[in-house]
Chain A
Amino acid sequence: MSNTPGYHGSYLRIDLSAGTMTNVPLAAETLRNFLGGVGLGTYLLLAEGVAEHDALAAEAPLIYVFSPLVGSPLTTSAKFAVVSKSPLTERINDSLASSAFAIAGKKCGCDAIVVVGRAAAPSVAVIEDDQLRIEPAGDVWGLSSRATEDALRERLGGDYQIASIGPAGERQVHYATISHDGRHAGRGGSGAVMGAKQLKAIAVRGTRRVAWHDSKALIALSKDLSQRSFGPATAKYRELGTASNLLTFNRLGTLPTRNFQQATFEHAAAISPEQLTATREKTRASCAACTIGCEHIYAFGGSGASSDGLLQKDAGVRLEYENLFALGSLCGVSDPDQVLAASRRCDELGLDTISAGGTIAFAAECVERGLLDVPWLVFGDGDAVLRALDEIVAGTPLGQQLALGSRRLAEQIGHDAIDFAPQVKGLEIPGYEPRTLQTMALGFAVGTRGADHNRSSAYEVDFSEAVDRRDVQPHEARLAVDIENRAALLDSLVLCKFLRRALEDFYGEAAEMLQAVTGWDITAAELEATAARIVAAKKLFNIRAGWRPEEDTLPRRFLEQPLPDDEQTTLGAERLAQLVTAYNSARGWTSEGWIEPVQQASLGLSEL
């Protein structure tokens, strides 16, 4: 038992090559400096000391990380991070998923599970408290994650929680996901890392609980937060879901369309949640320990209703803005049934919808330009999107190319294809047009896991009075730093970002929660420094993995080519470079983005 309430004070380290598991202590100082989730995962990844290795090498670690708040009554705290090197970017990848796996994993008596090595054959790692057994996975290899979970529960018992990969992870598609209970640790290809280890699933069951420092205070904080989670700060997520962004973004000229050739989609209304809700059944669901309930699940293909006429969660398609944009407007698809079908196919195969849609849309533009000879792959054809998804996982010659993501596909195609491949550091750009959301453009450029909205959150700055989103200036780069720090803290506590507007005193309230759980005499100022440390630690991993300053930019399309319906708006290479320099300065790094030893020491990163 750890001396620090809220933690077990150790992690489990599994070596699949040897079939062994050891319990490794974690220092109290490490826990306070990196908290949990993405922060603690980054520390553990750095501590493994293999940043330069290939992401799919046997020795490359795959780390599941819990947090001090997991298992507490705080709403949305049942989340876990998956941290590894990304096969898509060859830089750090940290993705999050929710639900009961986080609670059960922590009850195994650990704060994280580090997996290294490679099993000799497809396997399942079964962990019960601190005991490991490796079981064969031949019977579930090839199944979807959901079917795998069902089959393993049948085999092991219903109270196991299971994180698994689908066929995409098995084939090491570079943007394969890890899934649990229909949720995905989605971005960056952690599913491929798991597949490379021949690890189909991890099943966890445990009995070990942690103590809370001040249960009475924790319960009071939890009740208050839950109450606020029912209020206006989360109404959008609860009542409409993130898909409601679609029409708003279309109106604001920020909806990526046809591989970022446009920022408005003339058929947006046809695939909007407003239209979907008017024409089909919908139900809602929540992650474990969540009071928001942001999952909006739509009936699909005429099925899904039970005998009582209610839509069943597992029968419908969960729709978020990102899959609606990536498989809809980005590919020019206006048929809602085809967008739903593609979303469902990505779920079943275990594919990140953003990278899948981004890569397919990029390929369609290459076809349009005569750079790729795939005549059936055209914008607007939903059947073509479905065929491409299937080929990615079937491993056809085209599918093998698409499975590497848009950057590597562009490198194979040559010519000027890399100029319009929709990616940063190899990670496909999510549904935020960088030319008309320029703080977000900066966030994409400097993002340690590549073009990513969730780790940066800089779109929040653009959608406010703080900046002119079409003409962001270097002195405003500080705003991107501040919002990125907040995201890093949420991802390390871990709490859902959909709560962020319910937290009136962000760092102060986070400190109160940690005080109640851990007993630390921790302040808002210390947590702000902790957030900056975590962002710097991620950058440190990238530097060790071979990062170069020239990576922190956007493809030439976004710097040189105006949008057809917004020709006055430009970003330009020079201004983006100024923004990046200002961002680095605001972080205290060199103007190019290196972290010097003195800065490393001041951030508390010397031991790494």
Chain B
Amino acid sequence: MHNAIEVELFGIPRSRAGVAKTTAQGERLGEVLGDLEARFPGLAESCIEGGQLKPGYVCNVGGQRFVTDPQLPLAAGDVVLLLSADAGG
């Protein structure tokens, strides 16, 4: 049974997916990204490939840690943010 992970999208990922929030399945970051990739063609074209982030994109867990490792374990209740890595001026 996979975790249901809440995902918030910002900037280009939001624009490509057409949603600000969604829920994805997975026990590791790569599985969550893979689920998003399968469901949102816009993300597959731009941000995610083979369950991994493309260059220029990064995730953040709970507004705290920035992460990219697809093997990162996620727990129920984690919130994953998907955003452009150049989160600045």
Contacts and interface: CB of A to CB of B under 8 A. Distances in A.
**Closest 7 interchain pairs by CB?**
A248-B10, A463-B87, A459-B88, A236-B84, A244-B11, A232-B56, A465-B66
Contacts of A453: 88-89
A501 interface: yes
A469 B88 CA distance: 14
Interface in B1-31: 8, 10-12, 14-15
B10 A463 contact: no
A424 B87 CA distance: 23
Interface in B25-72: 46, 54-56, 58, 60, 63-68
B85 interface: yes
B85 A501 contact: yes
Interface of A: 232-233, 235-237, 239-240, 242, 244-245, 247-249, 251-253, 274, 320-322, 430, 432, 453-454, 457, 459-460, 463-465, 468-470, 497, 500-501
A460 B84 CA distance: 11
A321 B66 contact: no
Contacts of A464: 58, 66, 85
B56 A501 contact: yes
Contacts of B86: 233, 236-237, 460, 500-501
Contact of B12 (A240, A430, A459): A240
Contacts of B63: 251-253
A321 B89 contact: yes
Contact of A235 (B46, B60, B65, B89): B46
B8 A236 contact: no
A245 B68 contact: no
Contact of B55 (A232, A236, A320, A463): A232
6 contacts: A244-B84, A247-B10, A248-B10, A251-B10, A430-B89, A453-B88
A464 B15 CA distance: 22
B88 A463 contact: yes
A523 to B, nearest CB: 25
B74 interface: no
A501 B89 CA distance: 13
Given A232-B55, A245-B87, A463-B58, 5 more contacts: A236-B86, A274-B14, A453-B89, A464-B85, A501-B85
Q: Which of B12, B55, B64, B86 has the most CB of A within 10 A?
A: B86
Q: Which of B8, B10, B14, B63 has the most CB of A within 10 A?
A: B10
Contacts of A232: 46, 54-56
A430 B54 CA distance: 29
Contacts of A500: 86
A463 B66 contact: yes
Given A233-B56, A463-B58, A242 B11 contact: no
Given A244-B11, A245-B88, A465 B83 contact: no
A88 to B, nearest CB: 19
A500 to B, nearest CB: 8
A236 B67 contact: no
A358 B57 CA distance: 31
Nearest to B79: A251
Contacts of B46: 232, 235
